[in-house]
Structure 1
């Protein structure tokens, strides 16, 4: 798993960070634990601008947030009064935006510090305290977008400004529209009621999934059945995590545990048992009191009412207002272009895997719960690609050294560890970032922390977070600062942690987003870094960095056996790409199905099961199980922030592959030149320019799906012809 935590985003689940929920002024009660008049902010930062982690307490975080949030809201209120009394020149947008930025800077910093502490070690900032901080900061941060007086005044300036001010004005106007500021108070009250109901339905949906996950348990007592499981999976299922080989081991329906179980467990009947429990959870096929079908339909109906009230035909159309793709029709064309090639490739891949399984003694027709298991066996038997064996060549310290070196060469920067910096736990490190192309790199332009051994529960899979502690904010004289937080298991002394290939991709992806945060040059905090970037382009920089792992030369630089220091052999380096391409058509069809299902559920009025039955054969070459009710547990879509936005994961990959193709087959010098162009466009501009325009500046044309299909080797697996 990989997650970016940031404070940007538009309302109503159209575009939001993971912790940002629906926001509308007028119905939220502020938490009483947070004081507005304390001076606790004085203890949060040191004179050098870095957090005073040795001295930070829950109390001064709460106090600082109260003080800073109050100042932000007071500034908005002052602007409202001055506008109504004609004391402010509204045409001076720069002055207004800079003043709002100036007061937002300290609030953002304290919020980011609390977030880093919470994710790094939640005993430092417990969940209840963090959620109080988060909610208070979120409300204050949204106040400028909920001000009708400010909205009405700024809307008069549309067409009178250019450049970054025009871009920021567009954000104000769109946020205001989605907050209902273009409507009467009666309609805004109706919108608030809808969002309150929607919040309750989403919470019920999530709670029932969580309960369904925890009601299932399958116990394993024979070590021979789990001997091939990776260490992270064994840690998650072992009764005693200090003795992984003793057992017993309990399988739950946590997504990462199910994924690992289906990939490694040799007993087909038990794979089916876990799989069917997973796809039927929170549905009428299981415990009736935990069924989510009713809530799913309720969420769909409320989202449609919300969209209709705001002037859109359906929720999917409303979602497109904050997406690079712009319209459902454009998105559907992308789906069609991809499935035209991925569909036939999927059929070829499954046929070949079926043949391998039969040759290996398997006597059944492959089903969904067999695919991951037999794919792993095929990679080992035919290509000698054992993922657990490959881990030995990717010790964590060497991977970071190689990643930093690659980034320095590509983007003409220096990454330098600074000693004696206050951190939240001893293993955390801090790095300054210098830009060699900006005045010789004398002073750092940004900084970041790395916490490799967060205490967060990983449930069988490692996670990575890029936490924005503060954004670039020239008005508040703040430089970018972030934390990269991973929950790897702290190794025994003298032995480095070893990364599998999923870990490697996750680290590169997390660092790619960090580079976009750190190297931004946008002049306003709400446009800098990842702020204001369309949701379906927000993972582009991370995926571009991931794609460098397709380059055998770069991969060889990263690899070093943790005991012998030998690099991976050239033979293995040429084969390792198969970990990405061996079932690429099948995997892409799964992504396409989920993306299209999400869109159809948010623009169609048909019952959810009818939508599933309609779309399944379009993308899946295996039959739909009669009792499969997977939409009833799609928490990302129905209780999270990915409603009508699930496609964003895939579309970011499309854009990133097209960008990465510009680096392919180039000499080191040519790659550096291309890297500089990427730095000055995607990394520097942030949300100050629409991503479609940024892409055109970099590639000289609009995006194509061809690069993604080529990178996945899908075009070589099918004889399908036609234009992309």
Structure 2
């Protein structure tokens, strides 16, 4: 039997990464699936009448070994993958889909769940139990429990195919990212690039036995290149390469994959009686209905577009004046935005970076979480890691009680997908009078240290770290009974509130002075730079908002209607982007074939939630600003009503309990400089 199927004999029950071999996973999954089936069958065939405890609560804890193995495997598949793990993922995904269907399409089990659900009004259940009961019943109905046998079998086939297609989509995007390199051998082509970026590119070339400098599509390489490289043709080359991931005539093309995913999602929704995939998804979101999402996006578009058009005209005039550019292109906006920002605010990321050494920023976010939520982070070496660069921490409260285990994985690697995310290896829950504490991880792709400099973050990377740490706090401070309601197990248009609100501290003098210190001199960031950071916070915000709204509209275009007619992806995308498009189209590029958020992540019909959560976070932080950004009363209310409660109540109920009212868009519009 694999170590994965046994009780871990480790510190704090942490995952024994160094003892797990790739060949352990497939048999471990098979054993855990059989165990979980046995647990579910025992509940379905329980000799006594169905009750909340012997059915609903019992199901909440069933299959936990399988969940634990899945968490470990799929987290590593995202952060430390290889060809062997890719193959295992393709093999395991349909098995997990089949098992999930075996639960929700089990008539005996559903009968017991329905028996308890039908008595909900006369049972003495607390709030969390009521939520779990309602969620359990809805999970069955939303996964086909009320369908006849023929439709149930169709649903099984759809779910199995979807599981495989989503994995294939993600693997193709990663392969395309890894396949491209911009190899520069002429030093003149590096003009404009920051010293640290050049040094990192040289280090990558040397590691591959090459002369010169190598740039990739990994964000710490790609973003500085398109932002600073003076050579417009090279900016064009790498920008076009990034935009054609999954859209090239090769083995990694994702066009057919996304057409199939969208059509299967629509078929699934129709089978279950919904008008579209978006109607199905939004039933369990704060937004509730596609029409409300449409109204929300279009209302923001109406407010943001005039500002975005003014900003674009201003940027176009600036580029023309500076370099005679007659038409801004996709590979120009980051470059000229940075130039204009430097001219207007005398604010250059290269001036800021020395004040944002990764080590100091990490300490800063720890200090802020201590000031707000009484947490302490102690780095330890006795917890096993899946890669030598991963850092491990014990999180305690002010009485030295263990609150969580925290993993931090900061730098790009070949086997790690792009971007930044928070995840968990073990959720928080209570069972048999024991409070099981969570094992939380954040994964990022920050600029590495070089031979002469430590890892120095751009300001955007600073906000990314705070963002993911906000998600981590949501998991770390979880305080619920049932794992399926714990931590970030909330509506997807609510889950970004804890992450996005944390970004606000990056702009506050009182917070910056805690960690923004020059890596060489130890000097605290000058007030002059803090003022410039705050002043520049809403710089080009209209264009940034328009871009996000475009992504949200594309998402709804795929999912809020019948996508069967979408054969040619390029014209379809152009129609979705028509109201938000400022730049000329790039023929070789398409967004959808690498839009991982909606085709491989959890954001299908949910990309709007980033802006939705911005409304929440701006409104919530306005409350902090009113009372003081470290006000203990407001922080305690946020911890007790938002961070610790997970999904035990409707998000709006939790938010109003914290804030005393529903959120208003005014705070966001003012913060973005879109209204006075």
TM-score (structure 1 length as normaliser): 0.81
Measured in 2, the distance between the counterparts of 1:668 and 1:281 equals 42
Are 2:421 and 2:443, in contact at CA under 8 Å, matched by a contact in 1?
Answer: yes
Contact 1:430 1:449 (C-alpha < 8 Å) held by counterparts:
yes
Asked if the contact 2:3/2:20 (under 8 Å) is kept, the reply is no
> Shift in Å at residue 340 of structure 1?
1.9
1:373 pairs, out of 335, 347, 364, with 335
Q: Are the equivalent residues in 2 in contact too, given 1:223–1:245 (CA < 8 A)? A: no
Residue 707 of structure 1, aligned match among 647, 667, 671: 667
| Contact 1:398/1:560 (8 A) holds in 2 | yes
1:446 aligns with 2:446: no
2:425 counterpart residue number: 469
Whether 1:187 and 2:190 are equivalent positions in the alignment is: no
Query: CA-atom RMSD, angstroms?
Result: 3.7
Note if 1:304 corresponds to 2:266: yes
Task: Give 1:299 shift.
Answer: 3.9
The aligned counterpart of 2:319 is 357
Per the alignment, do residues 573 and 412 of structure 1 end up closer, same or farther by CA in structure 2, a change over 3 Å counting?
Answer: same
Note the alpha carbon deviations across 1:21-49, whole angstroms, 9 max, x for none: xxxxxxxxxxxxxx6xx676447333753
Tell me if 1:519 matches 2:477: yes
Tell me, in whole angstroms, the C-alpha distance in 2 between the residues paired with 1:236 and 1:586. 30
Alpha-carbon contact 2:501-2:618 (below 8 Å) kept: yes
Partner of 1:619: 580
* Residues 1:529 and 2:487 are matched in the alignment: yes
C-alpha separation between the residues in 2 aligned to 1:212 and 1:449? 28
Q: Distance in 1 between matches of 2:70 and 2:158?
A: 28
Residue aligning to 1:500: 458
C-alpha spacing 1:474/1:302, structure 2 compared with 1 (3 Å): closer
Q: Structure 2: how far apart are the matches of 1:114 and 1:198? A: 19
Structure 1 residue aligned with 2:610: 649
Q: Is the 8 A contact 2:43 2:58 kept in 1?
A: no
Is 2:514 aligned against 1:550?
A: no
Q: How many residue pairs are counted as aligned between the two chains?
A: 665
- The answer on whether the counterparts of 1:101 and 1:475 sit within 8 Å (CA) in structure 2 is no
User: By how many angstroms is 1:406 displaced?
Assistant: 0.8
**Is 107-116 or 149-158 further displaced after alignment?**
107-116
What is the distance in 2 between the residues matched to 1:368 and 1:619? Answer: 14
Of the three residues 151, 176, 182, the one matched with 2:110 is 151
Q: CA offsets per residue over residues 472-491 of structure 1, 9 Å max, x none?
A: 12116322222334455664
| 2: CA distance, partners of 1:60 / 1:292 | 30
Partner of 2:45: helix, strand, or coil?
Answer: helix
Give the 3-state SS of the residue equivalent to 1:560 in structure 2.
Answer: coil
* 2:595 aligned with 1:634: yes
Do 1:94 and 1:165's aligned partners in 2 also have CA atoms closer than 8 Å? no
The residue aligned with 2:468 is: 510
Q: Residue 358 of structure 2 contacts residue 456 of structure 2 at CA under 8 Å; is this kept in 1?
A: yes
Task: Identify if the C-alpha distance between structure 1 residues 639 and 676 changes in structure 2 by more than 3 Å, giving closer, same or farther.
Answer: closer
CA distance in 2, matches of 1:689, 1:111: 27
For the 8 Å contact 1:470–1:482, the answer to whether it is kept is: yes
Question: How big is each residue's C-alpha offset from its partner over 1:175-214, in whole Å with a ceiling of 9 and x where there is no partner?
Answer: 2223211101101112233345555665676677677767
Evaluate the alpha carbon distance shift between residue 142 and residue 296 of structure 1 in structure 2; reply closer, same or farther with a 3 A threshold: closer
How far 1:667 sits from its partner (Å)? 3.1
**How far did 1:685 drift?**
0.6
Counterpart-to-counterpart distance in 2, 1:698 and 1:615: 37
Secondary structure at the counterpart of residue 456 of structure 2? coil
Native 8 Å contact 1:322 1:534 kept in 2: yes
Q: Which moved more, 1:471-480 or 1:57-66?
A: 57-66
Contact 2:553–2:577 under 8 Å retained in 1: no
Following TM superposition, by how much is the alpha carbon of 1:254 offset from its aligned partner in structure 2, in angstroms? Answer: 6.4
* Alpha-carbon distance between aligned partners in 2 of 1:628 and 1:489, rounded to the nearest angstrom: 26
Q: Is the 8 A contact 1:44 1:56 kept in 2?
A: no
Q: Does 1:696 align with 2:656?
A: yes
Distance 1:245 1:227 in 2: 23
- Find 1:673's aligned residue among 633, 638, 650: 633
Shift of 1:328: 1.1
Structure 2 CA distance for aligned equivalents of residues 631 and 486 of structure 1: 23
Distance in 2, matches of 1:232 and 1:139, equals 49
Separation of aligned partners in 1, 2:11 and 2:218? 44
Q: Distance in 2 between matches of 1:386 and 1:657?
A: 26
Give the TM-score normalised by structure 2: 0.86
Structure 1 residue aligned with 2:530: 573
Distance in 2 between residues matched to 1:675 and 1:651, nearest whole Å: 22
Residues 350 and 117 of structure 1: CA distance in aligned 2, closer, same or farther (over 3 Å): closer
User: Shift of residue 110 of structure 1?
Assistant: 4.4
- Any idea what the Cα deviations from partners look like across 1:643-681, whole Å, max 9, x if unmatched? 322223332223222222211143366x22111100001
Q: Which moved more, 1:234-243 or 1:548-557?
A: 234-243
* Partner-residue secondary structure (3-state), 1:432: strand
Matches of 1:346 and 1:76 in 2, distance apart? 54
Stretch of structure 1 that moved more, 189-198 or 472-481: 189-198
